[in-house]
Amino acid sequence: MKIIYSPIHKKHSPKWEIINGKNVSYAEVPERIEQIVKELQKNGMSSCIKAPKRFSERYIKSVHNQHYIDYIKKGSQKEAKKKGNDGYFTTFFINDLCAPLTPFTYDAARESVNCSLTGARLLKEEPVIYVLCRPPGHHAEANRMGGYCYFNNAAIAAEYLSQNGKVAILDIDFHHGNGTQQIFYERPDVLYVSLHVDPRVGFPYTAGFANEKGANDGKGFNKNFPLPLGTTEADYEKILTKACNLIEEYKPSSLVVSCGFDTYEKDPIGGFKLSIPFYEKMAKAIKGLDLPTLVVQEGGYNITDLGKIAYSFVKGLN
Ligand code: OKP
Ligand code: ZN
């Protein structure tokens, strides 16, 4: 297995998000990825870790609108020139107050895409690749940032892979990937399947309902499994099996996993009851699909245990 990692993400480190009009300290911190890398290295995986290659901005444009890309780039540059450059929320191209622009936001988001595309390209040679990227991407729509996400790493990789056949995306982050859903909503050649907290009680609130099934040519190729707060391992496992069956029936050429660890029982912003050993089980179920698989990091915010969760998951993939 190969792991794709770049240290550039560390430069993107916003202080706040705004929830209900109040500043709340930012949960999507550099330590997340650093803890995972440390734990994988500790477990003898250093030789698996590869640096990303650089990809042209036109790959980002395959999913996002050019005005949106320029806005993030120029906004980050503008912020870098300011004195108190703690980041700011833009007025345009935004879904919520959880994705500020800071001096290195564009650079980090761009490198995060480089990581996912490097992984996608390597899938020809390696059956399973784990992309340790941040900022995450699944809330980023074609022209809207939000939920700690700017460029949709998983969607850009899926778009790239779709040139060689149908792609399934399995989103197991605690939150619904509204961005990924929106990007492929009218496409039959990319299946989106997501398990997440019921949007009536959890972020992103406006998408992720069971009746969102795709539109036009894409009708029937979007499947949401909203789950209640407090979902147990037994219940989660049943739904994951259903999700895997759908993917199997679809017969894709490759699989992209939007992999969040905020389903963990002690996640500070999650609300499911999954334990560390359960992640190995989940990964085994995914591995059982026997597809070229690109695992793209999304959320997961328990800094203390993230490394152990990731290592449990990696054991199941191997
Ligand atoms: C990003 B990813 C809840 C705050 C919610 C935004 C959550 C974004 C999640 N107290 N803030 O899907 O992990
Ligand atoms: Zn999440």
- Model pLDDT for residues 82-101, shown as the tens digit of each residue: 888 888 888 899 999 999 99
What residues contact residue 305 under an 8 Å CB cut-off, 6+ apart? 264, 266, 276
What's residue 90's pLDDT?
86
User: Where do we find the tokens 């190995």?
Assistant: 280
SS3 of 23-51: the string is EEECCCCCHHHHHHHHHHHHCCCHHHEEC
What's residue 89's pLDDT?
87
pLDDT in tens, 13-62: 999 999 999 999 999 999 999 999 999 999 999 999 999 999 999 999 99
The DSSP call for residue 54 is: P
The number of the ligand nearest the C-alpha atom of 202 reads 1
Is the pTM here over 0.75, yes or no?
yes
What's residue 202's pLDDT?
98
> DSSP string spanning 74-108?
HHHHHHHHSSS-S-B--SSSBSSSS--B-TTHHHH
Single-letter amino acid, residue 282 = M
Q: For residue 38, how far is its CA from the centre of ligand 2 (angstroms)?
A: 22
Q: For residue 47, how far is its CA from the centre of ligand 1 (angstroms)?
A: 32
pLDDT in tens, 249-270: 999 999 999 999 999 999 999 9
Nearest ligand 1 atom, CA 98: 6
Atom 5, ligand 1: residue with shortest CA distance: 203
Q: Where exactly are the structural domains of the chain?
A: 2-317
Tens-digit pLDDT string for the chain (318 aa): 999 999 999 999 999 999 999 999 999 999 999 999 999 999 999 999 999 999 999 999 999 999 999 999 999 999 888 888 888 888 899 999 999 999 999 999 999 999 999 999 999 999 999 999 999 999 999 999 999 999 999 999 999 999 999 999 999 999 999 999 999 999 999 999 999 999 999 999 999 999 999 999 999 999 999 999 999 999 999 999 999 999 999 999 999 999 999 999 999 999 999 999 999 999 999 999 999 999 999 999 999 999 999 999 999 999
Atom 10, ligand 1: residue with shortest CA distance: 269
What's residue 137's pLDDT?
98
Nearest ligand 1 atom, CA 146: 8
Longest dimension (CA), the chain: 55
User: Where do we find the tokens 């997501």?
Assistant: 194
What's residue 84's pLDDT?
83
> DSSP string spanning 118-150?
HHHHHTTT-SEEEE--SS--TT-BTTBBBTTBS
Residue 12 designated active-site: no
Nearest ligand 1 atom, CA 262: 13
> Which of 64, 139, 176, 196 is the catalytic position?
139
Q: For residue 80, how far is its CA from the centre of ligand 2 (angstroms)?
A: 28
What's residue 88's pLDDT?
84
Q: For residue 81, how far is its CA from the centre of ligand 2 (angstroms)?
A: 31
What's residue 146's pLDDT?
98
Tell me which CATH code domain 2-317 carries. 3.40.800.20
